[in-house]
Structure formats: C-alpha cells, structure tokens
Amino acid sequence: MMTTGSFPENMTDPVEHTAISEYRFHIENHLRIIYPDLDHTEFAQSLIDIMCPDAGECRTPETHQNHWTQRDIIMITYGDSLLTEGQPPLETLLNFAETFLQDTINGIHILPFFPYSSDDGFSIIDYQQVNEKLGDWSHINAIAKQFQLMSDLVINHCSSQSRWFEQFKRGTSPGKDYFFCATPEDDISKVVRPRTNELLQLIETPEGPRYVWCTFSHDQVDLNFANPELLKEIVKIIKLYLDHGVRIFRLDAIAFIWKVPGTSCLSLPETHEIVRLLRTLIQFVSPKAIIITETNIPNRENLAYFGNSNEAHAIYNFSLPPLLVNAMLRGSCQHLKTWMMSMPPALHGTTYLNFIASHDGIGLRPAEGLMSEEEIGEMVSMMEQFGGLTSMRSLAGGGMRPYEINISLFEAMKGTLDGEDEWQIERFLCAHAIMLALEGIPAIYIHSFLGTRNDHTAVEQTGRSRSINRHRWDYRHLLSVLEDESSTHSRVFQGLCHLINVRIRQPAFHPNATQFTLHLGDSVFAFWRQSMNRQQSIFAINNITNKEQIIPLSDINLIGTDSWVDLISGELYSDLHGDLVLNPYQVIWLTNLLDHD
C-alpha cells in the first residue's frame, strides 16, 4: 500500500520518473488531504508554475540531511534595532554584523521587515514590499549575501489596512474571500486564545454584516486557508522571498491557521498538512532551505510539528526559556533535568531551535505541565520585582491566566527568589552557555548580545508590554559603550562572543550530536555531548547557584587515558581523582579533544 507522501515504487517510465513529476506527485497528495473536492492535478500544476517555472531547476531533495553544523548561530533582531541618523536601519544592521559578528554568527533573523500597521511588524500591510523606513530589497539582498537570512512568513493573519482586507470590506475580489468568518452562534467555547480581545469582529460589507476571526487583535485579521486561491497567493509570496535570498522560513503562529468552530482551532490536521505542503513546495526549489515552526504551545503539541521528519526541519524549544529562568531563580535544575530527559533526540534532518530570549516575552504555556501553577506564579512575581510585566490570555470557558512575562533577559537575571545580588552578568552568561551547549541550533536576541535593560519608556510610548524588550539603540552611543571594556554592555558582549567562538569549533556541539543528562545534584546542571564520529566528548557542567559547588571528578566518569581541558578557561585536569570546584554560575566545558576544529 502506498502511504501519503511516498513515491510510487512501480513508476518506471524514465520520462515520468523525474524531479518535476515527483514534485507534482507529492503536492497532489498534500492537496487531497487539505482540499478533498479540488481538482488536485490542475491546482498542483498551478503551484509548480509559481515555484518552478523552469522545470529543469526542480531538484529532488535528499531526505534526513542535516543542513546545519555547530557553526550555525542565528541572531534575532528587528530591522531597526540599531539606528544611525541619515542611514537606512538595515544598512546599519549589516555594518554592525560585519564589524562585530562576522566570525561569530552566520545567520540573521530579521523580524518582519514589511509595511505594517501594528504589533511591531506582525500585522503586515504588504507582503511584497520592504518597509521604506528600514530600507529596500537591495538592503535585504546585501544581508542575504553575507549571512543566512531568516524571515518570518506571517500567514495566519494580515493587517486590517491591507489591500486584501480593503477588498473584503468593499466586497470585491480577491480579498472578499480571503478572510475567515464565523457567526456569534458558532461554538467558539473551545478555541484556545493567546490574547484577551473579543475573537470575532463585526464588519459591515455590501453583503451585510460579517464577523471576521481575529486570533491576536482586531488589526490582525485571520486569513482563510480553506480557500485554495489564498494558498496560491501565499505561494507567490514564498517564491518572492526565495528570490531575495531567504533560506530560513519562520512560520509565525502557524498552529492557528486552520479553523473549525467547535474545536480548539489549534494544530488541527489540516494545519499539519499545510506545513508539509509548504516544505515540499520549498525544498524541491531550494533543497537546503529550512522551515521552522513557531508554535508557542505546550511541549508535547510542539514536538508534533516534526511530523514524520516531513514537517518542520526545526521547532522552537519553547519550554527552555521558562525552565531555565526558573532554574536560575531557584538554584535548582530539577524541572530542567526532568524536561531534558523527556525530550526525544531529533532525527537526522530535524533539530531544535534553542533560544532563551526573543522579541516576545518568556512564554508560560510551554511551562504548563512542567512546573506547578504555584511555581509559575512565584516566577511571575519575581520577574515583576525585577521590572518585568505580565501579559494574560483568555481561557476557554472564561477566565484569564498569565501568558508570558515581558522583560529583558538581562534584567531577568538580576537575582534569585531571595532578591537581587551581585551575580547578574555571571548568571546571564551561564544561562547562555547552557543554551549554546544543548542539542540544537542556538538563536540569540540582539539585546542579549548587548545586555540591554528594560525599556519602560518604550512601554509608556506604545502602551504595549512587549516594548519593554524591543529597545532601539542609537548606533553611535552603542559603539561608545562597546568600546568601554568596563561597561556592562561590553562585558556581556565579549563574554557571549567568547562562548560562541569556542562553541562553533566543537564537533560535539553539532546540533544533532549525542546528548545525555548527568545527575550531579540539583545545584549543578550538567550534560554530556559526543560528536557523531565519537572522537570528541564534552561534559557541560554548570553551577546554577550563587554558592560555590564542589563535584568529585570521579562522579563524572572521565576516561583516565585521555587528557581533559576546560574549553572556556583553558585549564587542564590531569588528576581525575580530585575535585571540580565551581564558583557561582561558573561553566566548564570539559573535553578530551584538544585539537578541535
């Protein structure tokens, strides 16, 4: 029996057995599941014509291939995080990356750089233009030539000021059929919401009143993927991004894109199939392109987006930020260890995207089931003491619950549950060292590189809690503080760059290298990585407390015939019967391979 997504073994015609025929075959299979009543052959060809107008450029992708190594580090940034008077912000961003990070990172995730009406870019007015306040496509192309370019594909919703929605309100094509509508009589009681606004928005149209679905805000109107013509428009947008050098696609809020009243409207089967379809459409044209799903949902549901290694190449490790912050606050890695032991190793061709700070806050949904409500409440309370804010979400059936903590990660590391202390920088670097050593690709927010503090002025100006962690730096001022080696910003930047520059030379830190959790007590979070050729082992040992910790080297089971060195400090360990003495928040990457790449 032939399963969905498999190529028929009995296809022997040498003319038909080509990349383009295989491309068509896979696309039709996806379409049969998403749109049962569609003419799948004709529609599949229309998608192929968009993505691969020259059939000779279509290439069959290799399966289970890792398109990444330990050298891959992504920086997350807005296009205007750095500002220079008289210069397009995207040009300033490239200058900064070339000057300070050329040998440290190789990928840049530019958050939505298109014209928008709200949500700092995630309410897109025009998918095909660069926001003129940032620059133009030539600036995007220049960044793509120097770094792997990661871009958001924001397709759950678009702006209420978009051309499509203006057409919807006028009752004209094509936009009049591009938005998902419901009625107040529909059962929406089970719908999972990340926000507290009313789900349905009443809009007057020439056909009468209609209620449009708004998952996030009334300015962000949800698109209707039940309409295949909308899908075709989205595919045109994907092709445009590929042509401008995008090689990593972040599928923003993808879990919400298919709606069926009476259900949770979250991660429905059609949603997963659309992800599979987008992967197929992209990888036959650009075999090394990567799809990353952004699904801020409980851990088990998030893992489902790997599919059978045929959906996302990578998924955001959303549980890591709240668990790691909690571990640092409590000086206990109990929950972090339990979670880590439960995480399945990513199969070849898939991996995790690890992050602990982003343009959004510290999501709390991914901590549900991993931390108690009381522990989450204590963490929220302490983050508020450190200057943070809390965003809420609506619960099915009524009520609200904390959805995310809005705070600069540097400020989140001010202290422990006992209050602020003097270990902020050390704690901050320790947290990043843990992330850098874990299985997966690290993504580091630009404001983590810079040790940026809470921006309460921005919150007052915008009225949005998330603005607290979206500071815009005057680039000349930034240069001056980075040049001052005694400044907090310089110390953080140099400390992070040192960790990264060590990390990218270690084969045992390949995103798919073996990983095992070590049990050295709750005060020391430790794990073992081994390179895929088994020549290098690294013991990542992290003191997550503000107290000295002593670990007998015999507890780590080091091979006595090897020489061991801490990659971070360069200290040699020849007496394997001695003790490992860890200062507060000290990190040791103990390896047996001295001649690393």
- What domains lie within the chain, and their CATH numbers? 513-591 (2.60.40.1180)
pLDDT band at 336 (very low <50, low <70, confident <90, very high): very high
Q: According to the model, what pLDDT value does residue 596 have?
A: 53
- Cβ–Cβ under 8 Å, residues 168 and 181: no
Percent of all residues in the chain with a pLDDT value above 70, rounded to a whole number: 96
119 labelled binding-site residue: yes
pLDDT band at 6 (very low <50, low <70, confident <90, very high): very low
Q: According to the model, what pLDDT value does residue 15 have?
A: 39
Cα–Cα distance for residue pair 179/156, rounded to 1 Å = 10
13 labelled binding-site residue: no
pLDDT band at 17 (very low <50, low <70, confident <90, very high): low
Q: What is the mean pLDDT of the segment spanning 493-513?
A: 98
CA 311 to chain CA centroid, Å, is 15
- Cis-peptide into 174, omega within 30 deg: yes
- Cβ–Cβ under 8 Å, residues 421 and 399: no
Per DSSP bridges, beta strands 314-316 and 351-354 are parallel
Percent of all residues in the chain with a pLDDT value above 90, rounded to a whole number: 87
pLDDT tens figures, 167-191: 999 999 999 999 999 999 999 999 9
Residue 121 has pLDDT above 50, yes or no: yes
596 labelled binding-site residue: no
Q: What is the mean pLDDT of the segment spanning 534-543?
A: 96
Residue 521 has pLDDT above 60, yes or no: yes
Q: According to the model, what pLDDT value does residue 558 have?
A: 83
Q: What is the mean pLDDT of the segment spanning 475-499?
A: 98
Q: Is the dihedral of CA 141, 143, 145, 150 positive or negative?
A: negative
Question: CA angle at residue 423 from 418 to 429, to 5 degrees?
Answer: 120
> What would you measure as the largest C-alpha separation in the chain, in angstroms?
82
pLDDT tens figures, 71-99: 999 999 999 999 999 999 999 999 999 99
pLDDT tens figures, 348-365: 999 999 999 999 999 998
- In whole numbers, what is the pLDDT of the chain averaged over residues? 94
Beta bridge pairs of residue 181: 212
Q: According to the model, what pLDDT value does residue 2 have?
A: 31
Q: According to the model, what pLDDT value does residue 578 have?
A: 85
365 labelled binding-site residue: no
Q: According to the model, what pLDDT value does residue 437 have?
A: 98
DSSP 468-502: GG---EEHHHHHHHHH-TTSHHHHHHHHHHHHHHH
Which contiguous run of DSSP H or E holds residue 271? helix 269-283
Residue 27 has pLDDT above 60, yes or no: yes
Cα–Cα distance for residue pair 549/543, rounded to 1 Å = 7
453 labelled binding-site residue: no
**Number of Cβ atoms within 10 Å of the Cβ of 264:** 16
200-210 per-residue burial string, b: 16 or more CB within 10 A, e: under 16: bbebeeeeeeb
Cα–Cα distance for residue pair 109/292, rounded to 1 Å = 12
The catalytic residue positions are 252
Residue 450 has pLDDT above 70, yes or no: yes
Q: What are phi and psi of 389, to 5 degrees?
A: -125, 165
* Amino acid (one-letter) located at 185: E
109 labelled binding-site residue: no
471 labelled binding-site residue: no
Q: According to the model, what pLDDT value does residue 398 have?
A: 75
240 labelled binding-site residue: no
Residue 12 has pLDDT above 60, yes or no: no
Which contiguous run of DSSP H or E holds residue 384? helix 373-385
Q: According to the model, what pLDDT value does residue 195 have?
A: 81
Kindly tell me the burial class for residue 249, based on how many C-beta atoms sit within 10 Å of its own C-beta (0-12, 13-18, 19 or more).
buried
Q: What is the mean pLDDT of the segment spanning 325-340?
A: 97
Task: Count CA atoms within 13 Å of residue 568 on its CB side.
Answer: 22
Cα–Cα distance for residue pair 536/301, rounded to 1 Å = 34
Residue 584 has pLDDT above 70, yes or no: yes
Cα–Cα distance for residue pair 410/190, rounded to 1 Å = 37
Q: According to the model, what pLDDT value does residue 13 have?
A: 42
**Number of Cβ atoms within 10 Å of the Cβ of 216:** 20
Q: According to the model, what pLDDT value does residue 519 have?
A: 95
